Amino acid sequence: MLGLTPASALRQAYSGCASRVRLPTRAAAPVPGRLLAATCSHFSTVPLAYELHEPAKPVADKQTSPIIFMHGLFGSKKNNRTMSKVLARDLGRHVYALDLRNHGDSPHDEKHDYTVMAADVADFIHQHGLKDPTLIGHSMGAKTAMVLALDQPDLVANIVAVDNAPVDARLSSEFPRYIQAMRKIDEANTTRQAEADRILEPYEPSPTIRHFLLGNLHRPGAARGDSTLKFRLPLTTLGRSLDHLGDFPYKNPAEARFVKPALFVRGTKSKYVPDEVIPLIGQFFPRFELVDIDAGHWVISEKPEAFREAVLRFLEPKE
């Protein structure tokens, strides 16, 4: 469910792409759709923080038809910053990289599931007057995109779902370990990232993934001269949500279908989109295309150029 920082092959400045960071400014009202209408009385949406990446040469009529980019579990808008700039440049479209609830600079809330995350994004679309957006989401963000497309298909032009599928699936065992390790780091009151990394290392051997997780550290008491590092993630809320973050709220394709274009990108070394779920993808998303990339679950960071080419082929106007 993670979304790591894009690889160094694309880690460079792209001239002509401007970025603006926007923080949430107000509480929002629920945006009901078919699924959301049944539960909207039990939750409220939160205003999402975002970065706006603007192309130097916008394509005519595309300012209100942007791309909305959503990260995975424990990620944030900064993980998709480089790819967002690339897509803004190559497609001439505005790209909004979001912080989903309980991540990055977006507000924390006790409820964390795909129904409420989809409602947050729907409300974001309405707030900003966006028309026919493309939703791109990795893992947790992919399921959020799928739920919103099935729930309010008139609100979305198309989707790109990266390494996840519309099925119930148990999350990998590393996610509870990550929560446990991050709690230990919080309790240690460390002031150095290197010390936090040493605490995390027994739980995760990959330096890349450790760097990704530690990117959520900040110094909340800096203004008071306190240099203690803490995670900006609400670890209790996310830990409590792990059991159902593998779930998918739609169970019956006969009750909800998204008949507009959909691209599913999967890593061939990942287990999240096995061959046996492909027929079900086709039932929920009958106009879907499938692209396999020689990568693990972190497709965008492992093979950024292959991902970029797949998205461009899908989104560029057809002759």
Q: Which residues are catalytic?
A: 139, 297
Cβ-contact 89, 16 below 8 angstroms: yes
Report which of 98, 138, 104, 67 is spatially closest to residue 303, judged by C-alpha positions. 138
DSSP class per residue in 131-146: -SPEEEEETHHHHHHH
Q: Following CA atoms 214, 215, 216, 218 in sequence, which dihedral angle do they give, to the nearest 10 degrees?
A: 100
Count of CB atoms situated within 10 Å of the CB of 127: 16
Report which of 307, 196, 278, 211 is spatially closest to residue 2, judged by C-alpha positions. 211
CA distance 245 to 234: 15
Cα angle: 189, vertex 193, 195; to 5 degrees: 65
Longest dimension (CA), the chain: 60
CA separation, residue 48 to residues 76, 127, 197 (Å)? 11, 10, 29
Cβ-contact 284, 150 below 8 angstroms: yes
Which H or E run includes 228? none
- Phi/psi of residue 263, nearest 5 degrees: -110, 125
How far from the centroid of its chain's Cα atoms is residue 70's Cα?
A: 3
CA distance 150 to 259: 9
* C-alpha count within 13 angstroms, C-beta hemisphere, residue 218: 11
